[in-house]
Amino acid sequence: MYKILKKETLADNIYLMEVEAPRVAKNCLPGQFIIARADEDGERIPLTICDYDRERNSVTIVVQIVGAGTNLMERLKEGEGFHDFVGPLGCPSELCNESIEELKKKKIIFIAGGLGTAPVYPQVKWLCEKGIAADVICGFKNKDFVIMEKEMEAVAGNLYITTDDGSYKRSGMVTKALQDLVDEGNKYDLCIAIGPMIMMKFVCKLTKELGIPTVVSMNPIMVDGTGMCGACRLTVGDEIKFACVDGPEFDGHLINWDEAMRRQLMYKDAEGRAKLKAEEGDTHHGGCGHCS
């Protein structure tokens, strides 16, 4: 069992959990992820590592309740534990492979969309610990969905919060905030964008026009996390890649975004049926015609 040391509500249906996982904590780096199961019959859920503490042997994850598997996770309390907590999986952030001196020469901006704030945080924190201050744009639907603002303020060079409806800080999408910063005279050598696919697609469209190299962290549906199932297949340039083993980071200007988003939609019906069955329990009658 992987014990939950801390559980905190960040926003509606969004929870932070610090989990005791010594092997993962000892070996993980920013950009990697884990796959967890709430119980032995639960769905395998890939979750990006939000933070880690090697002294406490702990890994922090952020979970948004969207389906049956995450519903089971939400029911776990402090002191209880996950049945499986496998990782670290995927490749670390490309930043970890660059020399610190070269990174110090670059002006880096991170763009996080909603829950993407969680996986952006460890990369910004890692840079801060190396003496590198990166700019960060975090975009949310509205004020009620803003998460990890204080944590991000502590490690970012400049933090820009924007909300779609203008209910908090800047108004508009993250692409508007980036365009505004560039129009104000800011120049960036690298953009790292993490969030919903549609957000990353339009960030990449803009950064390509602005001539800013862009790295994205892909989060397609995964099953085994080892590249065997093929669910997280992507087309990157002229090559077929698998997010779980070749990524999750890729050159955003080479991603076939339309194909990636079509593949995500293929799993929505099954995900929805599983969520409904979990919510209704013994009262679920299978009227949709697909449930056994």
* Pairwise CA distance, residues 232 & 222, whole Å: 5
* Pairwise CA distance, residues 234 & 220, whole Å: 9
Say if residue 167 is in the same domain as residue 201. yes
Model confidence over 60-100: pLDDT tens digits? 999 988 887 888 888 989 999 999 999 999 999 989 988 99
3-state secondary structure of 98: coil
The residue among 64, 89, 114 that closes a domain is 89
Instruction: Compare 169 and 189 and report the one with higher pLDDT.
Output: 189
What is the count of structural domains for the chain? 2
Which CATH number covers residue 24? 2.40.30.10
* Pairwise CA distance, residues 24 & 33, whole Å: 10
The residue among 217, 249, 277 that closes a domain is 217
Say if residue 131 is in the same domain as residue 192. yes
| Structural domain contains residue 275 | no
> What's the pLDDT band for 259 if we cut at 50, 70, 90?
confident
Nearest to 218 by CA among 179, 259, 178: 259
> What's the pLDDT band for 32 if we cut at 50, 70, 90?
very high
> What's the pLDDT band for 275 if we cut at 50, 70, 90?
low
Indicate if the pLDDT at residue 222 is higher than 90.
no
Strand order in the sheet with 45-48: 45-48, 33-37, 84-89
Say if residue 35 is in the same domain as residue 133. no
* Pairwise CA distance, residues 125 & 155, whole Å: 5
Say if residue 128 is in the same domain as residue 207. yes
| HSE value, Cβ hemisphere, 13 Å, CA-based, for 241 | 25
- DSSP summary character for residue 255: B
Which CATH number covers residue 150? 3.40.50.80
Cβ pair 249, 31 in contact under 8 A = yes
What tokens were used for 105? Answer: 């020469």
The residue among 194, 217, 240 that closes a domain is 217
53-67, 178-192, 261-275 — most confident range: 178-192
Q: Which residues of 185-206 are buried (b: 16+ CB within 10 A; e: fewer)?
A: eeebebbbbbbebebbbbbbeb
Residue 43: what pLDDT?
84
Radius of gyration of the chain (CA): 19
| Structural domain contains residue 233 | no
Across 174-181, average pLDDT: 96
Across 2-16, average pLDDT: 93
Across 159-179, average pLDDT: 93
Nearest-5° Cα angle at 91, 29 to 88: 55
Residue 173: what pLDDT?
94
Instruction: Compare 283 and 85 and report the one with higher pLDDT.
Output: 85
For residue 72, the Cα-to-chain-centroid distance in whole angstroms is: 20
Q: Which domain holds residue 145?
A: 94-217
* Phi and psi, residue 235, nearest 5°: -105, 120
Residue 249: what pLDDT?
93
Across 211-229, average pLDDT: 84
- The partner residues of 170 in beta bridges, in order of sequence, read 162
Nearest to 234 by CA among 207, 209, 261, 208: 261
Sign of torsion over alpha carbons 73, 75, 76, 78: positive
